[in-house]
Structures are given as C-alpha cells and as structure tokens.
Amino acid sequence: MTRRLAKRVRELGEVQEESFLTNERRLARAILRIIDSGIGTESGSGLTIAGLSQSDLADLARISREAVSGVLKEFKDRGTVSTGRERFTIHDTAAIEALAMRRDRPLI
C-alpha cells in the first residue's frame, strides 16, 4: 500500500510539473515515452516510428495538434527528426533526451 501511495504521489507531481512545461519539452517527453515502448524500427538514418499521426502525438504530449506541427517543424529544421505520413524518424535521440531533461529514476 505504501508503494502504491508513493507511486500515486510521484504521478501527481509529474502531472503538476508537466503543466509548466513548454510544448517543445512536452513533445520531447512524449517521444521518449514512445522510444521507451520499443515500437520503433532502427535503420541507418535513425529510429522510425510508424502508425502515429500528429493528433496521436498531441494526445500523448497533452498539447494541440497545431503545437505538435510547429514543434516538429523546429525539430526538422534542426535535423533532429524527419516526418512523413503517419511516421517520423528520430535522427538525434540525444537531442530529444537533452530537451526533455530526462530522469531515468524517480525521486520517490
């Protein structure tokens, strides 16, 4: 029961923390969750994620589809990702991780 309570407190803290994040950071964190799920296909040019629309990314990141479109354009301009119809390729995972300020271990 204590572990469940600690997990719930941690989750609430993460939700509260996310409310102050920029759209760019929210999308970067969503992309990291996708990477961690293992659904991508590794290729010479990067990790390709297929079957996700910009609306799907918006739902995962808790931002609007228009915001996803704008952030993806910034990522593309930097060479971090490339996009296609319901797929995107991550060319620079380290840049996504740095932007998301990834924490592999929770504090609690």
Condensed to tens digits (0 to 9), the pLDDT of residues 77-98 reads: 999 999 999 999 999 999 999 9
Mention the CATH class of domain 22-100.
mainly alpha
Asked whether residue 104 carries a pLDDT value surpassing 50, the answer given is no
Q: In 3-state terms, what secondary structure has residue 90?
A: strand
Q: Chain-wide mean pLDDT for the chain?
A: 85
pTM: 0.72
Say which range, 17-31, 76-90, 94-108, has the weakest mean pLDDT.
94-108
3-state DSSP assignment of residue 85? coil
Q: For residues 73 and 15, which has the higher predicted lDDT (pLDDT)?
A: 73
In degrees rounded to 5, what are phi and psi of residue 87?
-160, 155
